[in-house]
Amino acid sequence: MTRPLETWSEPGVMDWMSAAACSTSSDLDLHYPDLGKSSAPARELCRECPVMADCLAYALANDERFGVWGGLTAAERREIKKG
């Protein structure tokens, strides 16, 4: 279930971001691979993330169109949104 877009700005709702595995990554571009580059390194980091589900829910609710969020690429998230 995704949270309604307007609730993401409520206090405490985005606290999950500070617990994300990528929040301490030294390579912030990892989750935004260049066209033709593998998303595998980002997805590997996501698999160990304690807030992967929150990240994916955020990406789906906010229509994030680029990068790896919640362990899924933009194309994979589009498929989910299609139903």
pLDDT at 83: 81
Q: Tens digits of per-residue pLDDT, 18-73? A: 899 998 888 878 999 998 999 999 999 999 999 999 999 999 999 999 999 999 99
Classify 27 as helix, strand or coil: coil
* pLDDT range class, residue 1, cuts 50, 70, 90: very low
pLDDT at 26: 80
pLDDT at 9: 58
d(CA 76, CA 6): 24
Model pTM above 0.95: no
Q: Tens digits of per-residue pLDDT, 5-18? A: 455 556 565 788 88
Q: Which residues pair with 69 in a beta bridge?
A: 72
| CA nearest neighbour of 19 among 44, 50, 59, 43 | 50
